Amino acid sequence: MVKKLTCISCPIGCELSVSLDESGKILKIEGNRCPRGKEYAITEITNPQRILPISVKVEDGEMELVSAKTDKPVPKKKMYEIIEYIKKLKVKAPVKRGDLIVEDILGTGANLVATRTVNKKS
Ligand code: SF4
């Protein structure tokens, strides 16, 4: 079986073809212009990861939510667990863009960081 992927490691966006056997083992990777494409294909097949953009509740803020995202990709298989965890969080205003909201979220090695500023309610 051949799986088609687009490498997102740089703006070129190489079209990758990944040949797999019946058990899902990678036999061959083609279409990458550099080694990063091969790494991307291996991760995407064995442990796909994504940056998670999300909103977090704010207490006493001029807005009820602050946008945030993980500072590195987190495993897709842990995404639901991470979202459920973040839904229960509440940060206290003021929150500044770049503030660390959660360090090493659920042991993924990724931090959750605010991507905008929410001032305290006046
Ligand atoms: S394989 Fe290399 S050149 Fe192609 S998109 Fe990925 S990083 Fe860019």
Nearest Cα residue to 109 out of 73, 62, 84, 79: 73
User: Any idea where the domains of the chain sit in the sequence?
Assistant: 2-46, 53-114
Q: pLDDT (tens digit, 9 = 90+) per residue, 25-53?
A: 999 999 999 999 999 999 999 999 999 99
Residue 36: predicted pLDDT: 97
Model pTM above 0.85: no
Write out residues with Cβ below 6 Å of ligand 1: 7, 9-10, 12-14, 32-34, 36-37, 40
Judge residue 35's burial from the number of C-beta atoms within 10 Å of its C-beta, 0-12 exposed, 13-18 middle, 19 or more buried: exposed
What CATH code is assigned to 53-114? 3.10.530.10
Q: pLDDT (tens digit, 9 = 90+) per residue, 9-30?
A: 999 999 999 999 999 999 999 9
Our mutation pick for probing the ligand 1 site, out of 12, 30, 39, 40, counting the most ligand atoms within 8 A of Cβ, is: 12
What CATH code is assigned to 2-46? 2.20.25
Residue 122: predicted pLDDT: 85
Enclosing H/E stretch for 58:
strand 53-59
